[in-house]
Amino acid sequence: MNKKFHVIYITSFFVVGIASTLLLILNGYQYYSTPLLTRFFNPQDNLLKPSGLLGQGLGVLGSFMMIIGVAVYMIRKRFRSFFHVGYLKDWLELHIFLCTLGPIFVLFHTAFKFGGIVAVSFWSMTAVVLSGVIGRFIYIQIPHTIEGQLIGIDELNSQSEKYSQQLKTEFQIPEYLFSRIEEISSIKRYKFAKLTTGFLFIIKDYFGMKSVLYSLKHELILAEIPRVNRKLILKTAKSKLIISRRIGLLQTMQNIFKYWHVVHLPFAIVMFVIMFIHIAVTVAFGYKWIF
């Protein structure tokens, strides 16, 4: 998938997700804001209640989206015969889209009324979505190729050296500025990052990098380096800083990601088990939607 098509691919997810949510809010705000005891008298009750035409349809569609979102990603990730079908990161983005919009549809299906065993499924679903957001953040800290394969420490060091050579020979920046960039991109600052504090350390380091790059930009201005070159130098320095963070936190992030699965997977299993029980009971009582 080329860069232009990938931008369209991601943008379409945002547009569909935001537009769908806004339409559901605008269409049903009056009904959802009506007290539960008086909703029966609302003109939209037959349409938007959990067993209504649209209400139940949202439940069916949301459940289907979550099942497909999990299934296609797991098949692409686990089965070797599908390794050549697209890039793993593109399938991951589809998985995130379906498993984010699907729960939103299920939320509107409930008409914001949860109780009994279904409440367990709903809060498990909420935990899955929130942990998925955290998991995505952790995942992007671990370097992967465009095909989704892990990048080794040797290749990361090679990339870092490439950026250093580019700064020194191509941009020919002053020696003191080159030394400054080498100093701030040293992986020594990550030696105190531990498994228990790695996540918070990354957030702190992210804002620290912003501060460092702002300071470097000021130094480049003082050195009277042309604006066009400043942008290229800052872009290269930023790439080098990111590489150094990935090298310094590689093992820590891999360990955190393993423990993340321990949290994410059980909630997903509970959610799907109760969801299938709910579907079976619904069908048994004759609520078959349009089928």
Q: What is the DSSP string of 12-78?
A: HHHHHHHHHHHHHHHHHHHHHTS-GGGGGGSTTHHHHSTTSHHHHHHHHHHHHHHHHHHHHHHHHHH
With H, G, I as helix, E, B as strand and everything else as coil, classify residue 84.
coil
Confidence band of 131 (pLDDT split at 50, 70, 90): confident
139 has a pLDDT exceeding 70: yes
User: Looking at residues 77-105, what average pLDDT do you find?
Assistant: 85
Confidence band of 182 (pLDDT split at 50, 70, 90): confident
96 has a pLDDT exceeding 80: yes
User: Looking at residues 274-285, what average pLDDT do you find?
Assistant: 84
Confidence band of 133 (pLDDT split at 50, 70, 90): confident
Residue 196: predicted pLDDT: 60
Q: What angle do CA 119, 94, 79 make, to 5 degrees?
A: 100
Site of tokens 């590489």? 243
Tens digit of pLDDT for each residue in 190-205? 666 665 666 677 777 7
- Domain residues of the chain, as ranges? 3-149+257-284, 153-256
Tens digit of pLDDT for each residue in 201-231? 777 777 777 777 887 788 778 877 788 888 8
174 has a pLDDT exceeding 90: no
Specify which of 125-129, 208-212, 259-263 reaches the highest per-range mean pLDDT: 125-129
- pLDDT above 90: percentage of residues in the chain: 17
Tens digit of pLDDT for each residue in 43-68? 999 899 988 889 999 999 999 999 99
